Amino acid sequence: MENQTLTITDNRTGQSCTVPIYEGAIRAMELRKIKTDADDFGMMTYDPAFLNTASCESSITFIDGDRGILRYRGYPIEDLAQHCTFLEVAYLILNGELPNQSQLQDWEAQIFKHTMLHETTKKFMEGFRYNAHPMPMLISTVAALSTVYPEARHIDDPENRKLQITRLVAKMPTITGYSYRHHLGFPYVYPDNDLGYCENFMNMLWKMVEPKYAANPVLARALDILFILHADHEQNCSTNVMRAVGSAHADPYVAVAAAAAALSGPLHGGANQEVLEMLDQIGSKDKVGAFVKGLKEGHGKLMGFGHRVYKNYDPRARIVKWCADQVFEVTGKNPRLEIAIELERIALEDEYFIKRKLYPNVDFYSGIIFQAMGFDPHYFTVLFAIPRTVGWLAQWQELLADSEQKIARPRQIYTGYGKREFIPLEKRTATVATA
């Protein structure tokens, strides 16, 4: 396309620099051409939290936040959630295309083949304190798998990468199931590969003394859909960590552990738990109006609304709301649901929220669903990690195949001291550290 360039005039020197525009962006390295003299390092960009920086090219996930669009490999999230299983979507994200019947059967067989954990790994998990939080257990155990499968470090071998990816997708429900049982003080339940992916996960969570666990099909399908919705979401915090660690050519186990560590933060993976706390704070449907009035006056905090990317209704939120209706038909309605529905109704009609583009996001209803299904709030982030592992691994694969990618090494703007004269210990006076 003609005229796809940007001309920048440096008012320090009066010189102009023309740089090409590529897919709506300019390459940051082009700015290095802008110098005051030959010894000048060149211009850099300053972008805290990467609010306006594209660090990679990706063909995995497309998001249009203004229009509320989310697609995996070109397929609308609505279609995938309605028609596919999580393992179908996992195959799509990892391989670029939806599987045919034969490919899906082979993929499922490979997953079920690798669901077991080595007994030494099981013993490793048993060594955690009796009330250990499931998320650090998951992070530590995934990292420890690097010692069980040392061949994983050979990341240049495509077949080896494929094997480790399959192992991780297969074992994440087992690890999370064991961490859940550990927290409750219950014996671990081995995988049952006669069951589907989500049904088997539920079996490892909730099987007691019955000879064969039978999952409620409505709840299993709801969990399957929630896994689909959380499988990938472009360059979020944990994905950025996965790519950064992967850029050093670390093996996938430690890279996924690092990504999961980022996910464990309350600003990333813990938002749905904070929604529940907000709904409890409100207390009842008739108090929603007063809560909203307080928000407008600067009191309280609104959770589950708004998004860094979406400036419209999060497309995942609509699907989650539908899931909630299905789940509550089985579990009975959670009192929080009435509060949530009323809060959503007011927010979608109130100019205060509309002007600020505060629409419900995926976290608004997901926590209510998870709790209705029997999960404690501290386990919500662990549930998030199972499907997101697929997205992390797809991003990791893509990174390794991208010839432009190098080890991640952001620049900084130094704001500290200039050169200082060294003071011997005996001559130093008391000082207050500034860092």
Residue 127 confidence (pLDDT) above 90? yes
The most confident of the ranges 139-153, 269-283, 307-321, 323-337 is: 139-153
Same domain, residue pair 359 and 260: yes
Known catalytic residue at 268: yes
What percentage of the chain has pLDDT greater than the value 90?
A: 72
Task: Let me know the angle formed at the C-alpha of 168 by 165 and 170, rounded to the nearest 5 degrees.
Answer: 110
Residue 429 in domain: no
Known catalytic residue at 40: no
Asked whether 109 and 350 are in contact (CB, 8 A), the reply is no
pLDDT for 353 = 85
Catalytic residue among 64, 192, 268, 350: 268
What residues have CB less than 8 Å from 290, skipping those under 6 apart?
none
Q: Which amino acid does the sequence have at 46?
A: Y
Same domain, residue pair 108 and 172: yes
Q: What range defines the domain where residue 22 resides? A: 5-45
pTM of the model: 0.91
Query: Of 69-78, 205-214, 313-322, which range is least confident?
Result: 313-322
What value does the mean pLDDT of the chain take?
92
Same domain, residue pair 189 and 271: yes
Same domain, residue pair 152 and 203: yes
Q: Which amino acid does the sequence have at 403?
A: S
Same domain, residue pair 12 and 129: no
Residue 417 in domain: no
Same domain, residue pair 107 and 248: yes
Residue 133 in domain: yes
Known catalytic residue at 114: no
**Cα dihedral 66/70/73/77 (nearest 10):** -150
Q: What is the pLDDT of residues 90-114, one digit of tens each?
A: 999 999 999 999 999 999 999 999 9
Q: What is the pLDDT of residues 206-260, one digit of tens each?
A: 999 999 999 999 999 999 999 999 999 999 999 999 999 999 999 999 999 999 9
> Is the C-alpha dihedral spanning 156, 158, 163, 168 positive or negative?
positive
The most confident of the ranges 207-221, 262-276, 292-306, 323-337 is: 207-221
Count the domains in the chain: 2
Same domain, residue pair 34 and 165: no
pLDDT for 305 = 84
Same domain, residue pair 266 and 144: yes
pLDDT for 432 = 67
In three-state secondary structure terms, 417 is coil
pLDDT for 422 = 96
Catalytic residue among 224, 230, 307, 314: 307
What residues have CB less than 8 Å from 80, skipping those under 6 apart?
72, 88, 89, 92, 228
Same domain, residue pair 35 and 173: no
